[in-house]
Amino acid sequence: MKFSTVSWVSAAFMAGTATADNASLFMQNILAYAAIGTVFDMPVVMTTSAETGPNGPLPQEILDMYPNAPLIKREGEVNAWDSAEFRDAIRAANKSQIILGGIVTEVCTSFLARSLRAEGYSVWANLEASGTTTKEIRDIANAALLHAGVSVTSLFAIIGDLMRDWRATPGSVELLPYLNQYMPAYGMVARAHRAAIENGTLIPGQELLPR
C-alpha cells in the first residue's frame, strides 16, 4: 500500500515555478495530486517550512481535504526529514512506499526524497506537483532523483499504479468523477462516450472514422 505525503509552500511562490505552463495549471496539478489521497483512502502527512514567513501556508483547499491529517509546521528545517515531528508522523503511518511533491523540486522534493531512500523507503515523486524556477533546474533535479532511485513520474501514472484495475475498488466508479474534475480532457471523453451510448446515434461522417 502506498502512502502520500504532501509538501508545498505558498501560492505566491507557485507563481514563480516553471513546472507548468502557468500558475493556474500548476495549482490545478497540486490540487489533483492532493485529492488522490481521498480517492484511495491513503494516510497523508502535510508539512510546511517556516510558514509564518514568505514561504507561507499550504493552500486552504488542501487543508480542507484533510482536516484530521498530521500537519507538520517546520520551524526552520529545510529538509522535512530533519524534523523529528515529521519523521515520527511518517513512521506512525507504517508504510514503506511514499508519494511526494513539493516546491521547489531541487530542495523540498529532492532533499526529502533522497533522505527517504537512504532510510529504505520506496519513493515516487510527482513531477507535475513539484516545481522550480527554470526548466534547466527542474531537469537536473529530476535526473538527480532518478539517480537516487526515486521514481519520477506523472500523476496519471501514479493513479494507474494505485488502481491497477478499472474493475477494482477504487476503480472506475471512484476514478471517473475524480478524472472529470481534475483531468477534464479525460472527463470530457468519458462524458461524450456516455452521451453517445445513451443517444444511440451518429452524425454523418462519424461512421468514416476508425474505431
Instruction: Please report whether residue 73 resides in a domain.
Output: yes
Structural domain of 130 = 2-164
Kindly state whether residues 81 and 36 are assigned to the same domain.
yes
Kindly state whether residues 98 and 182 are assigned to the same domain.
no
Kindly state whether residues 116 and 177 are assigned to the same domain.
no
| Residue indicated by cell numbers 498530521 | 70
Annotated catalytic residue, options 32, 58, 72, 108: 108
State the pTM of this model.
0.86
For 170, the 3-state DSSP assignment is coil
Q: Residue 120's domain is classified under what CATH number?
A: 3.40.50.850
Q: Look at residue 140 in the predicted model and tell me its pLDDT.
A: 95
Pairing between β-strand 2-7 and β-strand 97-101 as defined by DSSP bridges: parallel
- For residue 47, which of 101, 76, 8 has the smallest C-alpha distance? 8
- Please count the CA atoms within 13 angstroms of the CA of 117 that sit on its side-chain side: 18
Residue 172: active-site member: no
Instruction: Please report whether residue 209 resides in a domain.
Output: no
Kindly state whether residues 8 and 59 are assigned to the same domain.
yes
Kindly state whether residues 71 and 170 are assigned to the same domain.
no
Output DSSP code: residue 54: T
Q: Look at residue 209 in the predicted model and tell me its pLDDT.
A: 87
Q: Which amino acid is at 68?
A: N
Kindly state whether residues 102 and 175 are assigned to the same domain.
no
Number of domains, the chain: 2
Kindly state whether residues 103 and 86 are assigned to the same domain.
yes
Kindly state whether residues 175 and 95 are assigned to the same domain.
no
What stretches in the chain show pLDDT beneath 50? 1, 8-16, 19-20
Kindly state whether residues 62 and 127 are assigned to the same domain.
yes
Kindly state whether residues 52 and 128 are assigned to the same domain.
yes
180: CB partners within 8 A, 6+ apart = 186, 187, 190, 191
- Return the C-alpha cell found at 160: 494507474
Instruction: Please report whether residue 184 resides in a domain.
Output: yes
Instruction: Please report whether residue 191 resides in a domain.
Output: yes
